[in-house]
Amino acid sequence: MFTFPILLTIYAGFTHAFEADHLLAVSNIVSHRNKLWHAVKDGIYWGLGHSSTIIIIGILMILFKVVITENSFHYFEALVGVMLIILAVYRIYQFIRDKKIVVHSHGHSHLDGTHKHLHLHLANNHNHQHKHTLAYGVGLVHGLAGSGVLIIAAMSQIKSPIQGIWYLIIFCAGCISGMLVAAGLFSVPFSKKIISAPILQALLIIATSLLCFIYGGKVIYQNLFI
């Protein structure tokens, strides 16, 4: 019989979505979304990718008794760090690709005559992408981080392998719920309805990308060199 507390498991999955590396990744993914629903779908796809990896590893370890060493999970964590760096670089590339710098001049009349002033604008190339493949792929890789600890925790609370898998499924449901909320919240600062200044939006995108890059480097260092 299903004995462990369902609500606590869902809560654990929900809060798991708000870990620092998850939030940095999702903030980079949703920063180019113009609509809240597209950002929320990114969160759902991220959660599905994350859940896919956890369920697969859980089945291998719990049902088929496949032994994955602790050192292997350190490499998994390091791979997540590499993914964060790649994601940051890709977001900067995507931003540059989707924007063009427009420089033009305006004539202004003054008491001492007419002068021309140069103006610089960031303009959209209107290259809108609504696919969520990136979010799913990032979620797949992210599922490697911490999956070993999670599965060991599941195995310590179960009386049968089937209960262990159910534990992971319920946890993943909470994680998907948490990530769709996180994606929606983190897309708000990048919304043109909230911040209309293109320069400020650009600074936000660059800042989140740099944070993602730095955190990815930290994860790699902690898991490979300490």
**pLDDT tens digits for 65-110?**
888 888 888 999 999 999 999 999 999 998 888 765 555 555 555 5
User: Which one is predicted more confidently, 211 or 162?
Assistant: 211
pTM for the model: 0.83
Rounded to a whole number of angstroms, the CA Rg of the chain reads 22
Average pLDDT, integer, range 122-149? 76
Task: Give the type of residue at 65.
Answer: K
Q: How confident is the model at residue 140 (pLDDT cuts 50, 70, 90)?
A: very high
Question: Hey, what are 96's tokens?
Answer: 């540059």
Q: How far apart are the first and last CA of the chain?
A: 43
The most confident of the ranges 50-59, 154-163, 184-193 is: 50-59
Which H or E run contains 117?
strand 113-124
- Please name which of 157, 194, 179 lies closest in space to residue 15, comparing C-alpha atoms: 179
DSSP label at 67? -
Average pLDDT, integer, range 198-221? 92
Domain ranges for the chain: 6-99+130-224
Beta bridge mates, 116 = 107
Region for residue 110 given its phi and psi (left: phi exceeds 0; alpha: psi -120 to 50; beta: otherwise): beta
pLDDT at res. 15: 93
